[in-house]
Amino acid sequence: MSDTFLQGRAAIVTGGASGLGKAIALRLASAGANVCIMSLSTERVRRVDSEVKYFADVGEIESTRQEVESLGVQALGIDGDISSRDDVERLIGDTVSTFGRLDILVNNAATNVVHPVLNHDDDAWCRVIDVNLCGPYLCTRNALPHLMKNGWGRIISIASTNAHVGTPDYSAYAASKHGLLGFNKSLALEVGWHNITANTISPAAIDTPSAKMHAEKWAEQQGMTYEETMKEFLKDYPQGRFIPPEEIADLVAYLCRDEARAINGEDIKITTGASY
């Protein structure tokens, strides 16, 4: 018998159409939650200079929604941008009107640019902050009244090992993820009294389409083949592998259990033993 410990709960997963977000959406659905995914499609996105990010198309958003629904739950798929106040309000409103409630928010959507600080494009730098830091704030602020009404809630934000260290050419990304940790620590102190927990997860490189794009970018910068770059990169990983998104999704699901209610304001690293 499947463990449907989230039966009757409703969840939002941002960036849920592909990669890690898709794995999280499917895992929560397998536990019985109704799930709304929101991703910004290739049809709507306006890429900024030096942006390295995989975007699903509208067909992929719909196919993921159908895959979630096939697990026996209700599912919504929304084409939207978490840095847009209007899109976030639509996300929360459509979720609550369709499912009748909201219990779980997974702030997963993010973007990235690769460029040194010298001569960095201002719009590109601010775009990363808007999506990776202001986006989770907007989603959380709009979701909180519904979680508080229920007297139960889980807010899980996907940070990164770059929330703890710096990386050349990734200043905007590192700044946004460092900020996400600070936001979460303050949030956890505010919401704990309402039986709501707020935690972050900081993975190392995950096996996703975006990770492959970054590896190709590194190879281009170093004048190496993709295979050579991957071999060099994985020297820092004791298990010699990128992390499958399903392993992160399992942790997200665990944090939604009642048994995890004392885990609040924490950041959990998943690095295969890497020292950062």
Active-site residues, by number, are 173
Instruction: Tell me whether strands 153-158 and 104-107 are parallel, antiparallel or unpaired.
Output: parallel
Give all strands of the β-sheet with 10-14 in edge-to-edge order.
Answer: 75-79, 34-39, 10-14, 104-107, 153-158, 196-203, 267-270
Closest C-alpha to 156, from 50, 16, 32, 276 = 16
**Tokens 């905007």 belong to residue:** 172
Closest C-alpha to 112, from 102, 124, 103 = 124
